[in-house]
Amino acid sequence: MTGKDLIDAAQGAAPCDLNLANCTIVDLFRGELRKGSTVSIRKGRIAGVNDGLRAERTIDLKGLYLAPGLIDAHVHIESSLLSPPEYARVVAPHGTTTVVADPHEIANVMGYEGMRYMLAASEGLPIDVYLMVPSCVPATDFDTAGAALYASDMHPFLREARVLGLGEVMNYPGVLYKDQKLLDKIALFRDAGKPVDGHAPGLSGGPLSAYIAAGIGSDHECTNPREAEEKVSKGMYVMLREGSTAKDLKSLLPAVNARTASRFLICSDDRHANDLVDEGHMDHALRLLLAGGVSVIDAFTIACLNPAHWFGIPDAGAIAPGFKADLVAFESLEDFRAKFVYKDGLLVAEEGRMITETPSARPPVRDSVNIKWLTEDDFRIPAQGRRIRVIEASPGSIITGERIVEPRVEAGLCVSDLERDLVRIFVIERHTGSGNIGKGFITGLGLKRGALGGTVSHDSHNMIVAGVDDASIFKAARHLNKMKGGFVFAVEDEVILDLPLPVAGLMSDRGAAFVVERLRAFEELFEREGLALGSPLMTLSFMALPVIPSLKITDRGLIDVVSFSPVDLFVD
pLDDT digits (tens, 9 = 90+) for 10-27: 999 999 999 999 999 999
Average pLDDT over residues 289-308: 98
Backbone angles phi, psi at 87, to 5 degrees: -60, -45
Which tops the pLDDT comparison, 170 or 266?
266
**Partners of 291 in beta bridges:** none
pLDDT at 362 over 80: no
State the CB neighbour count (10 A cutoff) for residue 4: 10
In order of 78, 86, 90, 305, 503, the CA distances from 273 in angstroms are: 10, 10, 8, 26, 16
User: What is the pLDDT at residue 366?
Assistant: 84
Q: Which of 446, 457, 438, 447 is nearest to 542 (CA)?
A: 457
Coil, strand or helix at 443: strand
Between CA 501 and CA 20 the distance in angstroms is: 42
- E runs forming strands in 346-462: 346-350, 353-354, 388-392, 401-405, 408-410, 413-415, 423-428, 437-443, 451-454
pLDDT at 416 over 80: yes
What is the rounded average pLDDT for all residues in the chain? 95
pLDDT at 395 over 80: no
Average pLDDT over residues 196-218: 97
pLDDT at 360 over 80: no
Residue type, 571: V
Between CA 422 and CA 393 the distance in angstroms is: 11
Between CA 455 and CA 463 the distance in angstroms is: 4
Between CA 165 and CA 78 the distance in angstroms is: 19
User: What is the pLDDT at residue 1?
Assistant: 46
Average pLDDT over residues 107-128: 95
pLDDT tens digits for 214-253? 999 999 999 999 999 999 999 999 999 999 878 999 999 9
Coil, strand or helix at 256: coil
Q: Which of 167, 143, 125, 94 is nearest to 462 (CA)?
A: 143
pLDDT at 367 over 90: no
pLDDT confidence of 2, banded at 50, 70, 90? Answer: low
Residues present in the chain in total: 572
pTM: 0.92
pLDDT at 397 over 80: no
* Cβ pair 38, 77 in contact under 8 A: no
Walk me through the domains of the chain, giving residue ranges and CATH numbers.
Answer: 3-63 (2.30.40.10), 67-354 (3.20.20.140), 376-567 (no CATH)
User: What is the pLDDT at residue 246?
Assistant: 83
pLDDT confidence of 481, banded at 50, 70, 90? Answer: very high
Q: At what angle do helices 84-91 and 512-529 cross, to 10 degrees?
A: 80
Average pLDDT over residues 101-105: 96
Sheet holding 423-428, edge to edge: 401-405, 388-392, 437-443, 423-428, 463-467, 451-454, 486-491, 494-500
Between CA 210 and CA 175 the distance in angstroms is: 8
User: What is the pLDDT at residue 361?
Assistant: 63
Between CA 501 and CA 484 the distance in angstroms is: 7
Between CA 397 and CA 155 the distance in angstroms is: 36
In order of 399, 434, 444, 536, the CA distances from 447 in angstroms are: 19, 29, 8, 10
State the CB neighbour count (10 A cutoff) for residue 62: 10
- Residue 1, classified by CB atoms within 10 Å of its CB into exposed (0-12), middle (13-18) or buried (19+), is exposed
User: What is the pLDDT at residue 73?
Assistant: 98
Between CA 87 and CA 80 the distance in angstroms is: 7
